Amino acid sequence: MKIVHFSAECYPFAKAGGLGDVVGALPKYLNQIGHNAAVFLPFYAHIDVSKKERELRYENTVSLADGSYPCSVYEVTEEALGFPLFLVSVEGLTNRDAIYGYEDDPKRFIAFQRVGLQFLKTQKTLPDIIHVHDHHTGLVPFMMTQCPEFSEFKVIPTLLSIHNAQYQGQFPHEYGGWLPEFPDSQVGLLDWDGMINPLATAIKTAWRVTTVSPSYMKELQQHANGLESLLAHEAQKCIGILNGIDAETWNPQTDPFLETNYGPTNFVTGRRANKEKLCDTYGLSPSLPLFGFIGRLVWEKGADELVSALEVALNTLDINVILLGSGDPALEKKFEQLSDWYKKNVGAYIGYKESMSHDVYAAADFLLMPSRVEPCGLNQLYSFRYGCMPIVRKTGGLKDTVIDIAQDGLGITHEETTSNQISEAIERAVLFYQQKEAFRKKQRAMMKLDYSWEHSAKLYASEYQKLIKS
Ligand code: ADP
Ligand code: GLC
């Protein structure tokens, strides 16, 4: 099957979180099982691909309401990537330093989606499937089914993956002119609560909808930031498929970011070396249990309650903490304060640092994920692979992947994102850490778990097949 993914992120070229990891891995695994998957990504300014490494495949203009914008598409074929990457460039719109966060984001992403389809139209063979991810690419299925400009795409099945329904990309109808022409009678497909809502539009117009874990699919029926009734209405075309991990990128035996590589047979010495290095960098003693946190500092991740819980824990227990994150400035400040107040026991890096995230999985004994909302969560899966025990709130994908040690599982779980429950979980972790042999046995078992994309890529392939045959 020829599969085209449209996404705002794709590791290693553009990543703000797990979406980048998924789109950088799933196509590779689809190709390994004999398909032909490619990724379309906006050509952001920070993407460092020299002229030698890319080939110009398309040059034209795209007409938005306020004028015509020069656009081009470059193909990058790098063997290690495992799939062809198409960088879509729209002058003045895609070439910004950051992926998100601009006032004109809706216009930027519409331009990206339109140019991607314009380019596909010029190809000898059309894709068998178009797979879009989150609201940034959610207008593709609408354009394919409703806009005469793209009428040849009407018969091509589309699949939307919802990675996070909190963000829907709404914008006022007055900007509908950024889209290609479509019949006035179809404007309802774009509307949700009086706004153009790209995520709602995708749920209405894609042939199939997936969420990134089965539990998240169920949770969305109750809490979907206003889209509950729509998801209930479209329930028959929705399914939860658990994300996988790129087991080549996330492999402690070969990970180039690590101080010392290790595997299930020598993880004790290997992890100790990584812990000593990280602790040394942050002035912490490597002899204490080390608790890590890695994540975007937003309400969903529960970092506010985490800070309160850590204060309690740091006052009563002998633990060290390593924090890596960025986002909400108030939370960033709290992280910094904590590391100032508890200099000997807390290290914090405010910012995004890919290499350090690998170091934390390899060095920390426990990884804290007190998320209020976690559609899938990849951190806990990376933690398992690196022998670091996840401590998670039972929600979404965390609920689907982490079983408590009290039920013979490999993690520590709690019901709610409250400072009390998080600090109790930390206390349980410290007690378990003291049972050295039992703890090591769990670490060995975690590292042998297989959450690679191999399994879930087949589930996606089977969904694609069903759509093609329908
Ligand atoms: P989300 O997509 O909601 O952020 P996931 O658990 O799916 O959550 O994925 C998060 C990804 O982003 C992981 O690869 C994690 O290691 C990475 N990550 C998050 N914050 C940072 C950071 N500050 N520095 C480096 N990597 C980070
Ligand atoms: C989103 C979710 C996260 C998920 C990731 C990849 O960012 O917040 O839980 O793992 O997408 O699907």
pLDDT at 122 > cutoff 90:
yes
- Mean pLDDT lowest among 73-82, 179-188, 329-338: 73-82
pLDDT at 51 > cutoff 90:
no
Band the pLDDT of 32: cuts 50, 70, 90: very high
Over residues 354-358, the mean pLDDT reads 98
Mean pLDDT value across the chain: 97
Q: Is the CB of 400 under 6 A from ligand 2?
A: no
Percentage of the residues of the chain whose pLDDT score is greater than 90: 98
Per the CB < 8 A criterion, the answer to whether 433 and 289 are in contact is yes
CATH of domain 2-245+454-469: 3.40.50.2000
**What pLDDT was estimated at residue 441?**
98
Q: Is the CB of 387 under 6 A from ligand 1?
A: no
Cα 410 to averaged position of ligand 2 atoms, centre (Å): 21
Q: How many C-beta atoms lie closer than 10 Å to residue 60's C-beta?
A: 14
CA–CA–CA angle 161, 166, 168 (5° rounding): 70
Q: Provide the Cα torsion 207, 212, 214, 218; round to 10°.
A: -80
| Rounded Cα distance, 268 and 272, in Å | 6
Locate the ligand 2 atom nearest the alpha carbon of residue 243 and give its number: 12
Locate the ligand 2 atom nearest the alpha carbon of residue 375 and give its number: 9
Per-residue CA distances from 381 to 5, 20, 366, 410, 460 (Å) = 23, 15, 13, 11, 19
Element (H, E) at 94: none
Report domain extents, the chain: 2-245+454-469, 267-451
pLDDT at 21 > cutoff 90:
yes
pLDDT at 262 > cutoff 90:
yes
Locate the ligand 1 atom nearest the alpha carbon of residue 377 and give its number: 6
Q: Is the CB of 243 under 6 A from ligand 2?
A: yes
What is the pTM for the complete model shown?
0.97
Does 2-245+454-469 match 267-451 in CATH topology? yes
**What pLDDT was estimated at residue 465?**
98
Cα 306 to averaged position of ligand 2 atoms, centre (Å): 19
Locate the ligand 2 atom nearest the alpha carbon of residue 377 and give its number: 10
pLDDT at 280 > cutoff 90:
yes
Which are the contacts of 83, defined by CB distance < 8 A and separation ≥ 6? 27, 28, 30, 31, 37, 38, 39
Cα 110 to averaged position of ligand 1 atoms, centre (Å): 26
Q: Is the CB of 240 under 6 A from ligand 2?
A: no
Cα 294 to averaged position of ligand 1 atoms, centre (Å): 6
Over residues 341-360, the mean pLDDT reads 98
Band the pLDDT of 79: cuts 50, 70, 90: confident
pLDDT tens digit sequence for 414-450? 999 999 999 999 999 999 999 999 999 999 999 999 9
pLDDT at 52 > cutoff 90:
no
Q: Whose CA is closest to atom 7 on ligand 2? A: 18
Residue 264 structure tokens: 């299930």
**Amino acid identity for residue 161 in this structure:** S
CATH of domain 267-451: 3.40.50.2000
User: Closest Cα to residue 163, out of 35, 47, 7?
Assistant: 7
Token look-up 């979980």 returns 425
Residue 254 structure tokens: 């070969």
Band the pLDDT of 78: cuts 50, 70, 90: confident
